[in-house]
Amino acid sequence: VKNIAVLTSGGDAPGMNAAIRAVVRACSYYDVKCFGIYKGYEGLINNEVEVLNARSVRNVINKGGTFLKSARSKEFRTVEGRKKAYDNLVKNSIDALVVIGGDGSFTGALKLSEEYNFPVVGIPGTIDNDINGTDYTIGYDTALNTVVEAIDKIRDTASSHNRLFLIEVMGRDAGDIALNAGIGAGAEEILIPEEDMGVERLIESLRKSKKTGKTSSIIVVAEGDKSGKNIFELGEYVEENLNDYEVRVSVLGHIQRGGPPSCYDRVLASKLGVGAVEALLDGKSEVMIGIVHKVVTIVPLKIALDKRPHKHDGLIKVADITSV
């Protein structure tokens, strides 16, 4: 492998820049030419490719977002789109690709590799932490800290007005952000996609808490929760059925995706970026570089894409116990 390209794809995540930087610098260290591809697979299809050297990635480790930009490419999902992308890889003499992104990005990488026998390595970059085979994805830790900081602020006003707040956090399929930030911010209840708590049980539990002397409450709701109601409908439902609290709804939204990466995410991104280049130089392909029990680990992309529901290792119980 002499020429490695790197792209970021799907939803951006804090720490993606640190990962790109690590890939570029590892290439420089191992004397490999490095190319940056702009706007994910979309940019590859349109040949938006540029040579990057060690100095091209100065002053980016501390920046949120991705300077390579990101996109969700519809065209790359087609055989024709992938053909154009492959032709541009050949045109630029690129012989291996590092894809920083989530499951959609890995699915694309796998297709490209299967169709053209092209070496690909994935780095998990998404705030959702919903990739199998790695304990953490890049951006997740930063997003958790952002969410906790936001909930802390909401708690001040919730408590001043004796109000109940429903706070929506990201996580279409995974409750990792909701559960961990919820525990960290002392939420009363946490609704996640992996478990259907049932709205009746929610009301019951809030009634009980009120009886024990609680005067305000925070409920953290993952966007993919199983209540069957959107957060505003859920807010109205709770207000009507509890008949005790004034309810307010707060959707944190894309604030969770921005901001300077935490130290943890910068270090994780650096480890995984170096690991990705080393894996390619070692002849590996169709793998993701993950972190398992603090050790950089090579995981087949097919396993990374496995949609097994996340286990939350007793966290649900911890949340229940600490919110009595």
- Which active-site residues does the annotation give? 128
Does 172 bind ligand F6P (CB under 6 A)? Our answer is yes
Residue 175 interacting with ligand F6P (CB under 6 A): no
Q: What is the smallest separation between the CB atom of 214 and ligand F6P, expressed in angstroms?
A: 29
Specify the length of the chain in residues.
324
The b/e string for 242-257 (b: 16+ C-beta within 10 A; e otherwise) is beebebbbbbbeeebb
Q: Which residues contact 87 (CB under 8 A, 6 or more apart)?
A: none
User: Which residues from 205-244 bind ligand F6P, rule CB under 6 A?
Assistant: 223
CA-to-CA distance for 178 and 225, rounded, in angstroms? 10
Tokens of 167: 């706070």
> What is the amino acid identity at position 27?
C
Cβ contact 113:23 at 8 Å: no
CB 174 to ligand F6P: min, Å? 8
Looking at the Cβ atoms of 129 and 217, the one nearer to ligand F6P is: 129
* Sheet order of strands, 163-169 included: 189-191, 217-222, 163-169, 246-251
Is there binding between residue 138 and ligand F6P (CB under 6 A)? Answer: no
Residue 126 touches ligand F6P, criterion: CB under 6 A = yes
Size of the site for ligand F6P (CB under 6 A): 9
DSSP codes joined into one string, 253-306: GGGGG-SPPPHHHHHHHHHHHHHHHHHHHTT--SEEEEEETTEEEEEEHHHHT-
- Is residue 182 involved in binding ligand F6P (CB under 6 A)? no
Least separation in angstroms between CB 102 and ligand F6P: 6
42 binds ligand F6P (CB under 6 A): no
C-beta of residue 144 within 8 angstroms of C-beta of residue 315: no
Site track 244-283 with ligand F6P (rule: CB under 6 A), x = hit: -------------x--------------------------
* Choices 48-56, 120-128, 272-280, 296-304; region in contact with ligand F6P by CB under 6 A: 120-128
Name the residue nearer to ligand F6P (CB basis): 126 or 217.
126
Judged by CB under 6 A, the chain residues 45 through 104 that form the site for ligand F6P are none
The residue (of 128 and 141) whose beta carbon lies closer to ligand F6P is 128
What's the token pair of residue 243? 């008949």
> By CB under 6 A, is residue 189 in contact with ligand F6P?
no
| Residue ranges binding ligand F6P (CB under 6 A) | 11, 126-128, 170-172, 223, 257
